[in-house]
Amino acid sequence: MTFQTTEPPFRFRQGTRPLLISLPHVGTHVPPALEARLSDEARRVPDTDWHLERLYDFADALGASVLVATHSRFVIDLNRPPDDASLYPGQSVTGLCPVDMFDDQPLYREPSDVPGVAEMAQRREAIWAPYHAQLAQALARMKAQHGVAALWDAHSIRSVVPRFFEGRLPDLNLGTADGASCSPALAEQLLAIGQSAPGYSAVLNGRFKGGHITRAYGKPAQGIHAVQLEMTQCTYMQESGPFAYLPDVAAGVQPHVRRMLEAVLAFVEQ
């Protein structure tokens, strides 16, 4: 089987300050030929990081650049390394081209529908590579213009996913690859903002320490600081279908997320 798509691999908005917000799991597009191979449930793309572009609608006002995925993570996961190495050895994870959903159900109707090596390479070339090329180019441009750059990799997930973690996930999960992807001082500032947010829980480098994007691009010694924020979806939306955005609920958490990004900018621009 071959892979083709008519959709661009990403949307990008250029900002004016040294902050890039990456949204690698918000895409919902699945090319029709591939969609026909998916299960009925998989066609609903339930593992999407829904509505994050709306939650981060203050990005333009901050002067941030924004990189938005268009294709579903079921097509290819932009936050996985290109060789599909596990981000969390020994723990359950989904791959570069997933074959199952977060609930462990098969993604594809038949075993014969699962992509082979050649198709995975085509998906990587068509979607993964352009997204990462744009990400790298945006960071390089910021570094050249400002001397520093910050990358904020924005994610969300259902608050209860037994496959990946026990019990209920904290609301605001900051990841800095155990301190390797950004300044520890900045990380502590961000954690303090999260922990002081009334009604929300926050953790640093807990279950989610940052995926491939955070780990690959964060180079604090070179002035490039990368942070992942994995939010529980119940802080801003319905966690089950129809996965609606809840403006009144989102209004509670949004100021705290914005405060984190303002702290990132203050740190790198000082």
At 237 the three-state DSSP class reads: strand
Residue-wise pLDDT for 181-195, tens only, equals 999 999 999 999 999
Residue type at 108 in one-letter notation? Y
Domain ranges, ordered by start, for the chain: 10-269
Sheet holding 65-69, edge to edge: 10-13, 65-69, 19-23, 149-157, 224-232, 172-175, 202-204
Residue type at 216 in one-letter notation? A
Q: Is it the case that residue 86 has pLDDT exceeding 90?
A: no
Which pLDDT band, with edges at 50, 70 and 90, does 235 fall under? very high
* Strand-strand pairing, 10-13 and 19-23: unpaired
Q: Is it the case that residue 93 has pLDDT exceeding 90?
A: no
The pTM for the full model equals 0.97
| CATH number of the structural domain 10-269 | 3.40.630.40
Q: Average pLDDT for residues 210-227, to the nearest whole number?
A: 98
Q: Is it the case that residue 89 has pLDDT exceeding 90?
A: no
Joined together, the tokens standing for residue 186 give 């900045």
Which pLDDT band, with edges at 50, 70 and 90, does 91 fall under? confident
Question: Chain centroid to CA 234: how far?
Answer: 17
Residue 172: beta bridge partners? 202, 231
- Whether residue 264 contacts residue 150, with contact meaning beta carbons closer than 8 Å, is answered with yes
Say which range, 52-66, 83-97, 102-116, 204-218, has the weakest mean pLDDT: 83-97
Task: Output the average pLDDT for the chain.
Answer: 97
Joined together, the tokens standing for residue 203 give 């953790």
Q: Average pLDDT for residues 8-22, to the nearest whole number?
A: 98
How high is the pLDDT of residue 242? Answer: 95
- Whether residue 77 contacts residue 94, with contact meaning beta carbons closer than 8 Å, is answered with yes
Q: Average pLDDT for residues 227-237, to the nearest whole number?
A: 98
